[in-house]
Structures are given as structure tokens and as C-alpha cells.
Structure 1
Amino acid sequence: MMWRALSADWLKIRGKGLWFLVFLGPLGLVAMQGLNFGLRYDYLREQYSADLWGGLLNNVAAFVPIALFLGGTLVCSLIANVEHQMSSWKQLLALPISRTSVFMAKLVLCLVLVAVSCLLLSVGTVGLGLVLGFKVELIPYLDVLRIGFMSYIAALPVIALQLWLSLANRNQTLPVALGITLSLVSIFSMLLSEWVPLTWPYMAWESSHRLLFSGAGLLLGLLILLPGALHFARKDVD
């Protein structure tokens, strides 16, 4: 039943700007670093002469957490707003599909869209490095994948919370405002304790215990999803 709901959701997001958002985030990050390296090419090439790819990845990684939090917030809000704007919750939930299946379909759609964005970031980063003249044989493929996906897994608690709030509230002011606030706070994640979940996407890249932070993000994300699904299953809808 979940797959039936998911296929319907794929059709609903057409023309809603979600795919534009999925491409905008990673392309924006890559373009920003392209401008950064383009304006300071000689200086940065000398600074990272020992590991040009590592230098590029570190510069990109610094902005990945805010992109994940903000992008996840907007994706969740737009997905939920499809039903809110059309006032179609009652019709949707009257179908012979469980509320849990509806919730899980929205979750899978959100996670897939953010995952596509992370994949585009990895591909775009490699493309930028090649344009800058970095050697193709030195591409650190594992690090290229890790820059998006390890941080993505560590950001799951915030994404799960945003989906819960977006589905539960017809007015998207609260979830969007919270998401923007968390995104801005994440800029200062280096100053926060590593126990604060906002630091986990950055620590999943920077820390020597990166698997620990990604695993913690996955676990906490699942713990947040459970009450979120239960609340959605029992909540009255408009």
C-alpha cells in the first residue's frame, strides 16, 4: 500500500518546484566554490598543493550542513503543502490505505529527493575539480561520496522532525521558521558540543569517529520518526 501512495505522491509533486530545489542546492554550493577557487585560484592551489582534492572537499563540506538542514526543511514543507493547499487530506485518508503507509510514502519521497541532491553534490564537486585542473587519477571517490551521504545520514533527526511538523501543521510558518533557525545555528556547529545533533553532519565529515556520528543520526532519526508516525496516525485532519 505504501508503494501505491508513493507513486501517487510522485505525480503530485510535478510542477511544484521540488525538482528545481533538488538541483538548486548542490549546484549553488558547487557554483559558490567555483567562484571561491576562481577568484583565489593561485592562492588556494598553493595552499592545498599537497592535496588539491582534499582542499576542495573541505571547502564544500563547511556548507553542507546548512544546505542539508535548509534543503530538508523546504522539501518536507513543499511535500506536505501539496496536501494542505489542496485540502485533500480527508480524501486521501479515506482511501483504503493506512495512515502509516501515507506517512511512510511521504518520508520515502523526502529522503529520495534529498539523496538525489546529495548525489548531485558529489558529481558536481568532481566536475568542479576537473574544471579547475585537478588530476582525474587522484579523485578520492570514497571522500566524494562521503561528503554528501555521511552528512546526510547524520542530518536525519532534523529531516525527520521537519517532516513530522510539516505534515502536522497546515500553517507551515512553524516548521519553516524552525528549519531556517536550525540552519543558521548550524553555521556555528564547530562551537557547539559534539552531543548536539546540529553538529553531527559536520562531525560526520570532520571527525575521526565519523561513523559514530552518522550512526547516531540514523538512530535518533528513527526515534523521532516513531512518535511522528504515531501522531500522524491519530491526528484529526482538515
Structure 2
Amino acid sequence: MKKDMRVLIQSECMKLKRSWLLWITTLLPVFAVLEGVAYVRAASNHEASQVWNSLYVGSAAPYVFLIHPILITLIYTMTARMEHQQDNWKLLLSRPVNRGHLYLSKLLVGLLLILYSMLVLMIAMLAAGLLEGADASQLPWTWIFLRPLMSIVASLPMIGLIFLVSTEFSHAGWPLALGVGLSLPAILISNSASWWIFYPWCYPIVVMLAETGDTANQLNGLMWICLISFAAISAAGYIRFRNKEVLS
């Protein structure tokens, strides 16, 4: 099993080299940090003690509101689209490949790309803060590093749903409509003190931008909700993928 998964993951990584996903997952987080730098420079109180806070808010807001859900949608839509084109699913599955391992390998490679994008965001924020004169001794580790990683966990229900839809439907419009379309209402719903918990697209927003108080105190419980939801959605997709007779 380990060897089979390793070969499949290596194959998926080779496919990525021929796509533009690596460029997108690198450049979009950098763009978000440039927005954060502009926010810092536009602030009336541009003191060293305020740079980290302003930089984080200015970078995290555009990233988690728009870039993050768009990246997740593009990653899973395009990785599935590679196989939907010219009936590559049929060709791939005509080989001695375990369907379940194939499903999991694509899901895992997508998660690694999302993690890579988040690491680019964190490193870019760190570099930008130091270049803008922020005090390294006042670096807010929880906000710059922990919150972005937690937001990946908070994104798991969204990831599971988009991946399920992208493998189920050959037309790229379905996962794109799901991922991008539902991210727009999340901007408004995340501001609601009671309704955001029912809208998974709000979870990474709340995790990255929530201040102290009742909402922040719910983050530990939210992590468990996201993990359990992701496990259930992924299990459903895994079973559906293994039992589906014809993939097109």
C-alpha cells in the first residue's frame, strides 16, 4: 500500500510540473502580502510596534476572503480536469491501479499545494514585516504562523466538498461555481455572530481574523467539527469513487 501510494503521489507531482498551479499558489499569496504592505504604508500610525498587526490584517483579509477559496477551487478543479479531459480516467483505471489510493493521492497532493501556498504567505509576511521596520522581538507568532495553519484545518470541509464535486462532474463549471460562488456570501455571513457556524466557507475567515471573545473561544471546537466533517465527506467520496462503474 505504501509503495502504491508513493508512486501515485510522485505521478501527481509530475503532472503538476506541466501545469501553472505551482505558479498560482506562489504568486497569489505574495500578492496578498503586497496588499498588506500597502495597508501598512497607508496607515496613519506607521510605528514599528504597529507594523505586524497592520501587515497581518492587510495580508490575511484579501487572502482568506478571496484568494484562499479560489486557490482551493482551482487546485482540485484542475487536478481532476487533467483526468476528465479525453477520458483519461478510463485510461488510468485500465492499469493495475487501486482506485481508493488514486483518490487519496489526488486529495493529499492538493492538500500539500494548499499547505505550500500558506507557507509562502507566512514567509512573505515575515520578510515584509522585517523590511518594513517591524521589531523582530515583537513578532506575533500565533497570528503569523499558528492562525494560517489552523485555517487549513478550518478549510477541510470546503476542500472535501470541492474535491468530491470535481471528481464527480466532468464539467469544470460545477466545482468552480461551488468554490467561488459560495465564497462571496461568506464575506457577509462571517460577520454574523450566530450564522457563520452553519457556513463552512466562513470557517477559515473566522480562524484567521477572529479576535478574542466568544468567537475565538469556539476555535478548538471548530477544529474538531472540521476534522470530523472532512473525514465524513472524504469517506463518502472515497466510497463513491471506488464503486463508480464508469468515470468520464
TM superposition score normalised by structure 1: 0.91
The share of aligned pairs that are identical, in percent, is 25
Residue 60 of structure 1, CA deviation:
2.7
Which of these residues, 204, 207, 215, is aligned with residue 201 of structure 1? 204
- Contact kept in structure 2, 1:68 and 1:155, CA below 8 Å: no
Amino acid at match of 2:195: S
Give the match for residue 120 of structure 1. 120
Q: Tell me which residue corresponds to 1:230.
A: 239
1:111-135 CA deviation, whole Å, 9 max, x = no partner? 0000000011111111111121101
Aligned match for 2:230, one of 221, 230, 235: 221
SS of 2:79's equivalent in the other structure is: helix
Pairwise CA distance, 1:86: 4.1
Between the aligned partners of 1:182 and 1:140, the Cα distance in structure 2 is 31
Q: What's the offset of the Cα at 1:25?
A: 2.2
CA contact (8 A) 1:190 1:199 kept: no
Q: Report the Cα distance in structure 1 between the residues aligned to 2:65 and 2:234, rounded to whole angstroms.
A: 20
CA distance in 1, matches of 2:55, 2:180: 26
Q: Which residue of 1 aligns with 2:76?
A: 76
Using structure 2 for the length normalisation, give the TM-score: 0.87
Q: Return the offset for 1:61.
A: 2.8
Deviation (angstroms), 1:50: 5.6
Secondary structure in structure 1 of the residue aligned to 2:191: helix
1:163 CA drift (Å): 0.8
The aligned counterpart of 2:27 is 24
Root-mean-square deviation (Å): 1.8
Once the two structures are superposed, the pairs formed by residues 29-178 of structure 1 within 5 Å of their partners are: 29-38=32-41, 40-41=42-43, 43-45=44-46, 51-63=50-62, 64-178=64-178
Counterpart AA for 1:193: W
**Is residue 183 of structure 2 the alignment partner of residue 180 of structure 1?**
no
- Taking the aligned partners of 2:128 and 2:115, their CA distance within structure 1 comes to 20
Q: Which consecutive unaligned segments of at least 5 residues does structure 2 have? A: 211-215
Residue 183 of structure 1: CA displacement?
A: 1.7
Structure 1's 56 and 215: CA in aligned 2 closer, same or farther, altered over 3 A?
farther
In the alignment of these two chains, the number of paired residues is: 234
Question: C-alpha distance in 2, partners of 1:59/1:214?
Answer: 25
Q: Which runs of 5+ in 1 are unaligned?
A: none
Give 1:7 shift: 0.9
Q: Post-superposition, which runs of at least 4 consecutive aligned residues in structure 1 deviate over 4 A?
A: none
The residue number in structure 2 matching 1:11 is 14
Q: 1:166 to 1:135 in 2, by over 3 A?
A: same
